[in-house]
Amino acid sequence: MKRCNVVRVLSSKEQVKVLETLGDRCAALWNAANFRCRQAFMNGEPVPSYATLCAEFQGDPAYKALPSDIAQEILKKLRKAWNSFFACLRLWKKGELEKRPGLPRYWKDRRTGKRLVRLIPVKSPRSYSMDARTLSLTLPADLRDGNGRLVLRTKGVLRFSGTPKTLELRYDRVKKRWYAHQVVEVPEPARKARPEKRAALDLGARTLAALAIESLERQIIFSGREVWKDFLYWNKRIAGEQSKLNQAGRKTSRQLRRLYRVRTRRLKHAYLALAAEIARILKRHQVTTLFLEDLTGIRVDMEFGPGNLLVHNFWAFRMLRNLIEAACARAGVKVVFVEPNGTSSKCAVCSSPVKRPVRHKAVCENCGYVWHADANAALNILLLGSSKGHGAEATPLKPLALRWNRHRWVSRFESTAGTP
């Protein structure tokens, strides 16, 4: 499987100029090749393939101004962008997308018309070498100094070790810094042979996740209240900055982009910690299979007015699902997706319809049990995935609630109860 190492690049003023020159040349080649593709598309002709683009632009000045590994990777990324456009176009024609997808854009500032320095991709490790402290990069002939390579200092930790693949130097316009993203191929974690044990996870907006494990009487829920409050705080900061920009007749600023990034990263931090905590609990209880509900298309017909901020902006369930899947893969837990239809509307004991007098409670009038609604849904997913039918054996107990303290997920009574 593939993983990505991200480190910050520390460069001098002279090295920054070299990186900006390389980035500008990458943008020039992207724009020239993209113009060729857009003209072919608008004229009803086939869009050139990657091999055709390489053959056509091999003699172009924008191609010759770059090392071959960088120039080829630029054309490959452009062709991937067009492949994504055609895939989205097919979905739009089927009615699965509301808006028609736009063509791949040029790397330029629409207001000034100047080329944007975005990234410098390197195709293979033969053109670069990177360790924990340095990054060495091949340069074109006119930018070479005595040793012919650009040696940059790096700051960060290489979290993954394996076979190095491609590398991208990306420029952060908000922080005005360069970062190196290295893709490495790491071996799949070996799964030890152990007895089959299952668990299920129900995802939600206010309760981010509810975990049910076989032979564990209490379910575990992860309250999203503190994460939601933090999201609202940064949303107010963003609204205040937008108000100032409107008064000045502007649409965006570096400060506004920074606030959006801070809000996104704080949300992702909580999701990353949540995925890691779920993987730790599953590993401790020796779970081999996790049933995860497939929520694709769940928000298509959702319209709540003021509640749209919670459902459509805050609830990034795809990101959380991908993080949980990656964390489980590292822990050696198999993830199986199941359809969640009806899991929140019936009792996990007798399969009778439940009533919801309040949002977080599910009451079964047939057996008289009062469930936490998300814990009940997690148990239903567990029973559905394990093909045991309905009939949870244990009497529903009050689930263990974990909250986010902006560093990790802890119990409300951590000093006495601890985490599971």
Domain limit, last residue, from 146, 164, 185: 185
DSSP secondary structure string for all residues of 3-55:
EEEEEEEE--HHHHHHHHHHHHHHHHHHHHHHHHHHHHHHTTPPPP-HHHHHH
Give the pLDDT confidence score for residue 160 in this predicted structure: 87
The answer to whether residue 305 scores a pLDDT higher than 70 is no
Q: What is the mean pLDDT of the chain?
A: 86
The answer to whether residue 387 scores a pLDDT higher than 70 is no
189-202 average pLDDT score:
81
* Domain assignment present for 191: no
Query: Is residue 391 a contact partner of residue 364, using CB atoms and an 8 Å limit?
Result: no
Q: What is the pTM of this model?
A: 0.78
Band of residue 155 on the pLDDT scale cut at 50, 70, 90: very high
Give the pLDDT confidence score for residue 395 in this predicted structure: 57
Q: Do residues 50 and 100 both lie within one domain?
A: yes
Band of residue 416 on the pLDDT scale cut at 50, 70, 90: very low
* Domain assignment present for 416: no
* Domain assignment present for 193: no
Query: Is residue 248 a contact partner of residue 255, using CB atoms and an 8 Å limit?
Result: no
* Domain assignment present for 364: yes
Digit-coded pLDDT (tens) for 101-115 = 999 999 998 888 899
The answer to whether residue 390 scores a pLDDT higher than 60 is no
Q: Do residues 174 and 212 both lie within one domain?
A: no
Give the pLDDT confidence score for residue 188 in this predicted structure: 79
* Domain assignment present for 417: no
Digit-coded pLDDT (tens) for 30-83 = 999 999 999 999 999 999 999 999 999 999 999 999 999 999 999 999 999 999
Q: Do residues 169 and 208 both lie within one domain?
A: no
Q: Do residues 300 and 323 both lie within one domain?
A: yes
Q: Exposed (0-12), middle (13-18) or buried (19+): which is 155, by Cβ within 10 Å?
A: exposed
Domain total for the chain? 2
* CA gap 386, 214 in Å, rounded: 10
The answer to whether residue 242 scores a pLDDT higher than 80 is yes
CA angle 176, 177, 180 (to 5 degrees): 150
Domain limit, last residue, from 185, 207, 225: 185
How is residue 305 annotated by DSSP?
A: G
Band of residue 243 on the pLDDT scale cut at 50, 70, 90: very high
Cα Dmax for the chain: 83
Per the structure, the complete domain to which residue 64 belongs is given by 2-185
372-394 average pLDDT score:
71
Q: Do residues 325 and 225 both lie within one domain?
A: yes
Query: Is residue 402 a contact partner of residue 220, using CB atoms and an 8 Å limit?
Result: yes
Q: Do residues 167 and 267 both lie within one domain?
A: no
How is residue 346 annotated by DSSP?
A: B
Digit-coded pLDDT (tens) for 355-374 = 766 667 777 777 766 677 78
Digit-coded pLDDT (tens) for 322-356 = 999 989 988 889 999 888 777 777 777 777 777 76
Give the pLDDT confidence score for residue 364 in this predicted structure: 76
Of 182-186, 234-238, 273-277, 298-302, where does mean pLDDT reach its minimum? 298-302
| HEC readout, 315-345 | CCHHHHHHHHHHHHHHHCCEEEEECCCCCCC
Give the pLDDT confidence score for residue 103 in this predicted structure: 95
* Domain assignment present for 420: no
| Residue that has been written with the tokens 């089927």 in this structure | 94
Q: Do residues 155 and 229 both lie within one domain?
A: no
Q: Do residues 368 and 233 both lie within one domain?
A: yes
Highest mean pLDDT: which of 279-283, 302-306, 366-370, 414-418? 279-283
Band of residue 417 on the pLDDT scale cut at 50, 70, 90: very low
Q: Do residues 95 and 69 both lie within one domain?
A: yes
Q: Do residues 268 and 173 both lie within one domain?
A: no
Domain limit, last residue, from 185, 210, 235: 185
Give the pLDDT confidence score for residue 96 in this predicted structure: 84
CA torsion, points 126, 128, 134, 140, in degrees to nearest 10?
130
Q: Do residues 244 and 222 both lie within one domain?
A: yes
Q: Do residues 64 and 146 both lie within one domain?
A: yes
Percent of the chain predicted with pLDDT > 70: 90
* Domain assignment present for 190: no
Query: Is residue 347 a contact partner of residue 368, using CB atoms and an 8 Å limit?
Result: no
